[in-house]
Amino acid sequence: MTTTRPTIDRSLIDKITAIKPKYVTTNGFINMLLEDAYNDRVNKKVNLTDNVTYIYTNNKDLQEKEQDKKELEGKEQKEKINKKEKQEKIIPEDLQHLQTLIDDFWKVKKGSKSLQAWKLQITEYRKFIDKYSEQILKDQLEAGILAGTWKGLKLSHYEEQQQRMNRFNKEPETSAMHPNQKVVQFDDMGNLI
């Protein structure tokens, strides 16, 4: 008789050992169980390949069900997170008419998108409206959306940018001349007056 050494799961061996009589070896008892199972199948004329196919398809169905369950749980989790974000990040009534611009800017902005960052941005939006105008806020939101790299809108950054731009647009002032500086004038003939 030739023997082979199949691999059997450790938990199954523990179960078999628990019900094995003491006077029979574990190897002998496993052989007895296998022979009994084989004889039962032969006597019932059950086709072994049908049973294997059933187990295989049933296992495949179980895997698909588990995968579907995981996908469903993932979608539910995302919905909960999105719902929570929408509840926390509510646009105040005084800024409701700018909702699309604010939402679009928030989607493309870089940096933190926490609840604290949201509150700070709302404060900055109100500062823009109070100090300048709503149109300036709209322009800044649109510029931020187009850039897509801004971390947020800040009034102080806007004012710094305006100062830089105004510095180059100013004409030199004549009243700020040094006291020792003289204005030299000539008449039509080129003579000094």
**pLDDT (tens digit per residue) in 14-66:** 888 898 888 888 888 888 888 888 888 778 755 555 555 455 455 566 667 77
**What does the pLDDT read at residue 146?**
92
The proportion of the chain whose per-residue pLDDT surpasses 70, expressed as a percent, equals: 80
pLDDT at 78 over 80: no
What average pLDDT does the chain have? 81
**What does the pLDDT read at residue 134?**
92
Q: Quick check: 149 and 110 in contact, CB under 8 A? A: yes
186 phi/psi in degrees, rounded to 5: -125, 150
**What does the pLDDT read at residue 180?**
73
Helices and strands (DSSP H and E) totals, the chain? 7, 0
Taking the CA atoms of residue 54, residue 60, residue 66 and residue 67 in that order, the dihedral angle to the nearest 10 degrees is -160
- Predicted TM-score of the model (pTM): 0.45
Distances (CA, A) of 168 to 23, 40, 70, 143: 104, 99, 61, 22
Q: Is residue 192 classed as helix, strand or coil in its secondary structure?
A: strand
Burial call 146-178: b when 16+ CB within 10 Å, e when fewer = eeeebebbbbeebeeeeeeeeeeeeeeeeeeee
Average pLDDT over residues 165-185: 71
